[in-house]
Amino acid sequence: MLATRRKRNSVARLTKNSKIFKAIIHAIQEKKGSNITSLDLRKIPEAIADFFIVCEADSTTQVKAIASFVEDHVRDAAKEAPYHHEGHQGAQWVLVDYVNVVVHIMLPETRKFYKLEEMWSDAETEEHK
């Protein structure tokens, strides 16, 4: 169902060296996001994106700040606007969707509950310091 909502085949596939990928990681680091992990989903046929980038924030205020800065920095550095974003209301989990890269900014307890890395355990993961 989700895979049909956008045409991934018509969009160029990304790498970890892509400008948008680097801009997202940099923006999260600038706003002191922690436990930053990228999941490479390119070898998983049913995946809806090439990458997930997951990070944690200490408070809902920081979740919102990271999400806003990711959007601003990616717009400036990579000239990309998000396809979709959600979760700003509750700010326990904000998702910023750039079609091929989906950013998940979560409170630690939310991340532990949903276990995205376990759900996508077939993906190659990388920690970003």
Q: Report pLDDT digits (tens) over 14-47.
A: 777 789 999 999 999 999 999 999 999 999 999 9
Contact at 8 Å (CB) between 5 and 83? no
pLDDT at residue 12 in the model: 59
Q: What CATH number was assigned to the domain covering residues 14-121? A: 3.30.460.10
Enumerate the domain spans of the chain.
Answer: 14-121
pLDDT at residue 103 in the model: 98
Contact at 8 Å (CB) between 49 and 67? no
> pTM of the entire structure?
0.88
Segment 99-115, tens digit of pLDDT: 999 999 999 999 999 99
Segment 55-99, tens digit of pLDDT: 999 999 999 999 999 999 999 999 999 999 999 999 999 999 999
- Write the secondary structure of 48-114 as one string of H (helix), E (strand) and C (coil): CCCEEEEEECCCHHHHHHHHHHHHHHHHHHHCCCCCEEECCCCCCEEEEECCCEEEEEECHHHHHHH
CA distance linking residue 2 with residue 120, whole number of Å: 15
For 67, the token pair is 């999400």
CA distance linking residue 16 with residue 22, whole number of Å: 7
